[in-house]
Amino acid sequence: MGDFYQNSNITTLHNFRNRSLEDIETELMKYSQKRPIGLIIPSLYSELEKPALKLIVDQIKDIPYLGEIVIGLDAASEDEFKKAKEFFNVLPQHHRVIWNDGPGMKSLEYRLNDQNIHLGNPGKGKNVWFLFGYMIASGKSEAIALHHADILTYKREMLARLVYPVAKPDFNYKFCKGYYFRADEEKINGRMVRLLVTPLLRTLKLFLGPLEYLDYLDAFRYVLSGELSMRTDVLKTIRIPSDLGFDVGILAEVHRNNALNRICQVEIADRYDHKHQAESFNNPEKGLSKMSFDISRSIIAKLASNGSVFSEGMFRSIKATFHKIALDMVEQYSNDAVINGLKFDRHKEERLVDQLSRNVYQAGISYLNNPNQTPVMPSWKRVLSAIPDIQQEFYDIVENDNKE
């Protein structure tokens, strides 16, 4: 279902369904001659054994405008890294696999630690941080797309629409975020957006009034989308969160460094599905519970850095208001599911809201007790200033690891 509504200063690029994929790809081929296009994919080794990544590779191997593909590989032994290289060798494009657990990358990290540049534990954020660094070191791409390795509904049109806004020379955009309808064949998904981020933003607006940062986040139709594209110069300036606040943290960094008219969002799919996190009702360190805590803390920390003042009493009130707004939204989504013939487990949704309200409060108290705890990795601009020759070292490590 298409629409043409522009609801904020962040441009929304819709899909009116009147351009063929062939037409878009032909145009991208022309643009790629002057602005080479690359793709980065963070992945666990375990994804190689699942159907989603096989589907993705089968789709992207035939994309003509892609000049470079780089995969960040986590949790892989030496034998598994060799299998990964074989897995991706079907790609005809120039491609590299970064073995994040290999001795070369470990030595690179030790060198970073010597300069007080600490990256924290392995995870999505750290993987993407290394991917950004490699793309800077490679210098082969000027328009770069990022998506994950677990998209079950992947089609090559997703990538074409995602990278188009930053690849087209006539456009002014330096950063683009993809959006879509999050669902499988039976039910509405996207619980962290529906039941956490949107009600939290509405709650914070009630307490803090109109703030550009809150309006900015609220402008994105799927704020936790893992599909991004950007110009290479943006890679150098972004500080990447190392926790599960990755997606809102990236948006905060883009907002800090770029004018709003340089940022857009684009519809990349009618329907999107990938693997789902468990609710983890009884374990706050895993699944959606951990994710909700990290996202909430990231938003609170950003607001505090912009001058907002919080207190324990305010967070008690925020918890209560959030809970009410989120329950109201459960009612809205329940009705939406019914009219569309989708399943909706109201008990589980309301139980999740109970948990999320507690996590929002705990995230606020955590920030008050330890405001200096900011799990953010430095920008590559800072790294290159501290260690000017690390760019070449990084490039050589990856090249050596990828030799036959």
Flag whether pLDDT at 69 surpasses 90.
yes
Q: What is the mean pLDDT of residues 82-92?
A: 97
Backbone dihedral angles phi then psi of residue 154, each to the nearest 5 degrees:
-70, 135
Q: What local confidence, expressed as pLDDT, does residue 208 receive?
A: 97
Residues 6+ apart with CB under 8 A from 340: none
pLDDT at position 270: 81
Categorize the per-residue pLDDT at 105 as very low, low, confident or very high, splitting at 50, 70 and 90.
Answer: very high
Query: Lowest mean pLDDT: which of 92-101, 112-121, 317-326?
Result: 112-121
- What does the mean pLDDT of the chain come to? 93
Q: Which residue has the higher pLDDT, 259 or 240?
A: 259
Residue 334: per-residue pLDDT: 95
Whose CA is closest to 52, among 80, 390, 125, 44? 44
pLDDT at 2: 56
* Type of residue found at 342: L
Task: Please tell us whether the domain made up of 11-401 is placed in CATH 3.40.50.300.
Answer: no
Q: What is the pLDDT of residue 243?
A: 85
Q: Which residue has the tokens 């990236």?
A: 250
Give the pLDDT of residue 71. 98
CA–CA separation, 135 and 68 (whole Å)? 9
Q: How far apart are CA 324 and CA 370, in angstroms?
A: 28
CA atoms within 13 A on the CB side of 297: 28
Taking only the tens place, the pLDDT of each residue in 141-191 is 999 999 999 999 999 999 999 999 999 999 999 999 999 887 767 888 889
* Confidence at residue 26, expressed as pLDDT on a 0 to 100 scale: 98
Domain edges within the chain: 11-401
pLDDT at 288: 84
Mean pLDDT of all residues in 318-324 = 98
Residue 335 has pLDDT above 90, yes or no: yes
The number of C-alpha atoms within 13 Å of 15 and in the hemisphere containing its C-beta is 21
What number is the average pLDDT over the span 115-120? Answer: 90
Residue 198: the pLDDT is 96
**pLDDT over 90 percentage in the chain:** 84
pLDDT at 398 over 60: yes
Q: What is the CA radius of gyration of the chain?
A: 21
Smallest CA-to-CA distance from 160 within 172, 148, 147 is with 147
Q: What is the pLDDT of residue 287?
A: 74
Can you tell me the mean pLDDT for 263-282?
76
* 223-255 pLDDT tens trace: 999 999 999 999 999 998 888 888 999 999 999
Q: Over range 304-328, report the average pLDDT.
A: 97
Task: Say yes or no to pLDDT of 138 above 90.
Answer: yes
pLDDT for residue 280: 60
| pLDDT of residue 212 exceeding 90 | yes
Reading the block at residue 200, the tokens are 């939290």
The confidence score (pLDDT) of residue 68 equals 98
Reduced 3-state DSSP string for the chain = CCCCCCCCCCEEECCCCCCCHHHHHHHHHHHHCCCCEEEEEEEEHHHHHCHHHHHHHHHHCCCCCEEEEEEEEECCCHHHHHHHHHHHCCCCCEEEEEECCCHHHHHHHHHHHHCCCCCCCCCHHHHHHHHHHHHHHHCCCCEEEECCCCECCCCHHHHHHHHHHHHCCCCCCCEEEEEEEEECCCEECCHHHHHHHHHHHHHHHHHHCCCHHHHHHHHCCCCCCCCEEEEHHHHCCCCEECCCCHHHHHHHHHHHHCCHHHEEEEEEEEEECECCCCCCCCCCCCHHHHHHHHHHHHHHHHHHHCCCCCCHHHHHHHHHHHHHHHHHHHHHHHHHHHHCCCECCHHHHHHHHHHHHHHHHHHHHHHHHCCCCCCEECCHHHHHHHCCCHHHHHHHHHHHHCCC
**Confidence check: pLDDT of 67 > 70:** yes
118 vs 114: CA distance, rounded Å = 9
Residue 278 pLDDT > 80, yes or no?
Answer: no
Mean pLDDT of 108-124: 92
pLDDT above 60: residue 268? yes
